[in-house]
Amino acid sequence: MAEAPAPVVEYAVVGGVAAITLDSPHNRNALSRQLLTELEEALDRAAADDAARVVLVRAAGRVFCSGADLAEARAGSMAEGASRIVALQRRILALPKPVVARVHGAVRAGGTGIVAAADVAVAADDATFALTEVKLGLAPAAISVTVLPRLTSRAAALAALGGEVFSGADAAAYGLVTTAVPAAELDAEVDRVCASLATGAAQGLRETKALLNRDMVARLDEQGPGLAELSARLFGSEEARAAMTAFLQRGR
C-alpha cells in the first residue's frame, strides 16, 4: 500500500481564530489537487467549529500561493481544477464566519483569488502580486468574479493585461487588499484585525457577511461554470501548453 502523502494544509484554533496554513513549499503553495482538497476540508471544519469565531488563511514559507499547479495542468485537463478554484472562492465568500487573509511573499494568478475572496486581506507592503495568466496565453477567468471587482477599472486593466508584478502597497492602493503594512508589523496587524472581528456576535457576523457578499456570490453562481470552462479551454490550448512547458523548464 502506498504511503499517504504528508498534509499540505494545517489547522489550529487559538483564541477564537481558526488558522488555516498552506504548507506546500515544494510547489510554492500551488493549488494542487491535494492542497485544494485539504483547504476545502479545513474551511468546512472552521465553519462548523464552535471554538472559531474568525478564520485566518495564511501560508508557510516564502510564497503565499503561486496559483494553479502548472505541472498538473500541463499533464492533464484543467476542467476539474478550474471548477474547483471557482468553488473555493465561493466557499470563502459564503463561509458563515469572516475570513482574513495574511499575505506575505509572492501571490500569483489563482492565489489572488483567495485574497480577493477573503473578507479582509492584510498584506506586507513588500509582498508581490501578479496576474501572470496573460504571459502564458491564459486569462484570469476563474478568479475574475472576485478579483476584478476589488480592483479599480484602471488597475484591473493594467494588472490583467500587463501581467506585471506589483507590491502589497500597490495592492492596497488598487483595492485588492484592505491594508498593507511593513513586514515586521504584519503579524501584529493581523492579530489586531482578527481580535476586533472576534468581538462580533456570531449571528451578526454571519448575516452581515452574507449581505456584503450576496451580489458577488450571485455573480459567481451565474458566471462561474462558464468561466471555469473558458479557463479549462485556454489551459488546454497549444499556445498555453507550450508556454507552461517553457515556464516549468526555466524553473528547474
Could you read off the pLDDT of 19-49 as tens digits, one per residue?
Answer: 999 999 999 999 999 999 999 999 999 999 9
Examine the pLDDT at 252 and tell me if it is beyond 50. no
Instruction: Residue 165: count other Cβ atoms within 10 Å of its Cβ.
Output: 15
Find the radius of gyration of the CA atoms of the chain. Answer: 17
Examine the pLDDT at 13 and tell me if it is beyond 70. yes
The Cα–Cα gap between 33 and 72 comes to 8
The Cα–Cα gap between 22 and 58 comes to 6
DSSP state of 121: E
End-to-end CA distance of the chain: 31
Examine the pLDDT at 234 and tell me if it is beyond 50. yes
Examine the pLDDT at 8 and tell me if it is beyond 70. yes
Grid coordinates given for 183? 513586514
Q: What is the pLDDT of residue 66?
A: 96
pTM over 0.85: yes
**Average pLDDT in the chain:** 95
Contacts of 201 (CB under 8 A, 6+ apart): none
The Cα–Cα gap between 65 and 9 comes to 12
Q: What is the pLDDT of residue 251?
A: 58
Contacts of 37 (CB under 8 A, 6+ apart): none
Q: What is the pLDDT of residue 4?
A: 81
**H helices within the chain, ranges in order?**
33-48, 70-75, 79-94, 110-117, 144-150, 153-162, 168-174, 186-198, 202-235, 238-250
Grid coordinates given for 55? 478564520
Please report, for residues 24, 53, 148, 183, the alpha-carbon distance to residue 90 in angstroms, rounded to integers and kept in the order given: 22, 19, 15, 29
pLDDT tens figures, 70-127: 888 776 667 888 999 999 999 999 999 999 999 999 999 999 999 999 999 999 999 9
Contact between residue 101 and residue 115 where contact means Cβ atoms under 8 Å apart: yes
Contact between residue 200 and residue 156 where contact means Cβ atoms under 8 Å apart: no
pLDDT band at 247, cuts 50/70/90?
confident
Grid coordinates given for 239? 499556445
Based on the number of CB atoms within 10 Å of its own CB, is 67 exposed (0-12), middle (13-18) or buried (19 or more)? buried
Contact between residue 163 and residue 131 where contact means Cβ atoms under 8 Å apart: yes
pLDDT tens figures, 125-180: 999 999 999 999 999 999 999 999 999 999 999 999 999 999 999 999 999 999 99
Q: What is the pLDDT of residue 241?
A: 87
CA 234 to chain centre: 20
Report the sign of the C-alpha dihedral through residues 221, 225, 230, 232, in that order: positive
More confident residue, 49 or 245: 49
More confident residue, 46 or 247: 46
